[in-house]
Structure 1
Amino acid sequence: MEVDGAEQDPGPATPRPSRRLVTDPVFGPYWAGKLLANVGIWIQNIASAALVWQLTSSAFLVGLVSFAQFVPQLVLTPMSGAMADRGSPRRQILLGRTLCTLGAAILAGWVLLTPDVADVPPWVVMVTALIVGIGFSVGGPAMQALLPSLVRPGEVARAVALDNLTFSVGRAVGPAVGGVVAATAGYGVAFALAAVGHLVFLVTVFRLRTPGAAAAPGPRLSVIAGVRYLRTDPVVGVLLLGVTAVGVGADPAVTLGPSLADVLGGGPELVGVLASAFGAGAFLGFFAQVALIRFLDHAQLATTGLVLLAGSAVGLAASWSVPAAVVAFVVGGLGLTLAMNGITTLLYDRVPREYIGRIMALWLMGFVGSRPLAAALNGALADLLSVGAALVVTAVMVLGAAVVCRPSVLRRPVPGR
């Protein structure tokens, strides 16, 4: 698969449909590899949460696993975004995914070599989650910055939707696989499957030859220059607030999943079912957007998605049965996809190419970097008060962001354009 990027295709300028993009020799393998990697990520996320809950019965410690995995986003991602704008996204992705593979493989080996899973120290799960998180920080902004160069200019919106679909399918399939495999074959096998998913994507990117015009380092490529850009277009800052709210609204599916499953009388299998329900809703959101985009613009999709996420948290707080919780999670997943696709497409449309790596690094800091804070807060509130209290607080924060990210604000013109 030695190709030179989307620009090598001299075909017609008419944007290709989604089915053509996923069979494109450049975008297609990248998309499929990322899909498998996202399934692996969610296998590890759910299996890690279920294992730590089984070992400690503490929602706070379950939250610390997410904290360990996602806190590197707050520290490393801005620098990683600046590096992506210097023209080396492929190497960054390779380095980041190597770390993710190692983190999952080390955890799998430790658990498989421990005769009794009850003897696995929780700190091992947290340290390996930290390694995976560093990998995300290194490679994440590069993946976002690379995306527009894999397709033609008029296809970016479809590419964004398909890229987010890998996340949605990962959330739908990964938790179910992780929960079932952990309950039947054991946690070690689940973590090994996660490592395989990362490895497949690593090999795919290694074989991919992408366009990458190197840019000379300078003041315009500094991290600070990227942050200063926000002052020239305040709507970009509002969009970043919106994606942060999406991260906060998505956290309960992982951090509070074990606690909620316990309240409803279930175990690891139910944890996987609940998280998969969220992922199934996110998957359905892809098709819902295709229908809704005829009537709503991307600004309206973004706001609608945030409102659905907030409503999902309220519904979960009031859930009295497994079916009710499943429905609430499906609604939340639907909201996640609508909000993410709307916000991300608006960002790609507003931000100049020379800043996209750093702005998408801030996007990752908002979406993924908010997770450690949300996880710690949700875990603490669930332990000190109740799962319902944690969910209500989540709903209030996401709804507040929806008010700020209302369509009239998101539609404001780009300064100077």
Structure 2
Amino acid sequence: MKFGSLALALALTAVPAVAVAQGGDVARVQAGAPFRAAVAELDRDYDRFVAELIELTEIPAPPFKEEARGRAYAAKFRALGLTDVAIDEVGNVTGIRPGTDPRAKLVVMSAHLDTVFPEGTDVKVKREGTKLMAPGIGDDTRGLATVLAYIRALDAAKIRTRAPILFVGTVGEEGRGDLRGVRHLFTKGAYKDRIGAFFSLDGSDPTRVVHGGVGSKRYRIVFKGPGGHSYGAFGIVNPIAAMGRTIDEMYRIELPAKPRTTYAASVTGGGTSVNAIPGEVFLDIDMRSESAEALAALETRVLGIVANAVTAENAARSTRVGKVSADPQPIGDRPAGATPPTDPLVRTTAAAVTAAGFTATLEASSTDANLPMSLGIPAVTIGAGGKAGRAHAEDEWVDIEKGEGVKGMSVGLLALIATAGQAR
């Protein structure tokens, strides 16, 4: 889901009073000397931001092995004077910048520690002019470094916020991590009942305001059968045939254009030899939707196709030495959700984008913000600034040209201060 500037402008016209106040907060904060001083600090301290971006990128953080980067990030939180710095049970790094109102809900500013790249990947940063290249440097190490720059800017400008700010480096955002970090933060962590708003810095584009969470269901479906010699046992049931029927029938499903809903057969494997009917094969399936209801309906449909494919294969060939079966194993469950365009958090963030001189677009994606959205907690994902490309590829890059970098970074900082409420 993506809205252009016209749709955004229309969405910002019919607003509740609380949202109008939030929009006014953006203008007031931006016009004030403290915010100007904070942006000046982002500019003055930019070389340090770049140095930390390189430093953190070169600490490997493969899936489920974010510990080394997490320890380094926690050390930086402590050095910056955050309180209650901790690494929780799953590996999230947390630290608090206190607010002036002890009763206020926490505002979270986060980025994710993990990358998609496996252990052993060369993460040495290479530089060509203002372009830095390394696996994971944009997704999401730039976000991590920007969070640190925000803390220093707030301190340098002596900005106090009414609400306390919880800064977080999350684990498990990518792939099979299944949002385990942010899931723990909101369902089992020490702050699970204290969070009132959530920002995720992910990617670079400062114009994107991700207010819709694309949910996903992922399965590894293991098909089993008796197996046998390709010639001597010819005619018995074959789990590959059931898998093939599953894929064929799944790709006959017609889906609505809205809400956007998709499926993919993505990974297959199994078998032992070219001259053997396999005893076991597997198929990985990814299903996504902006709507929790549409995703649940698709999941039911696909699992029904799997069951029917098994039944059909057992009816089509001999089961004299055994039958084919299927075991759908869940390997991912990202909840769908949304923060409405009229919510003060979305309006404030969009106003911050506009105030920085960009054109805001409202979009849906799959990020850490999915989890709080699904719980009804206002959440958005925004870019950390600058330009980037080739995410999830080993030649991933970011452009660290200072002017565009600081301009983009100012968006999240302005939205954060306006949301947390600048203390007078």
TM-score, with length taken from structure 2: 0.25
Larger Rg: 2
TM-score, with length taken from structure 1: 0.25
Which structure shows the bigger proportion of residues in helix conformation? Answer: 1
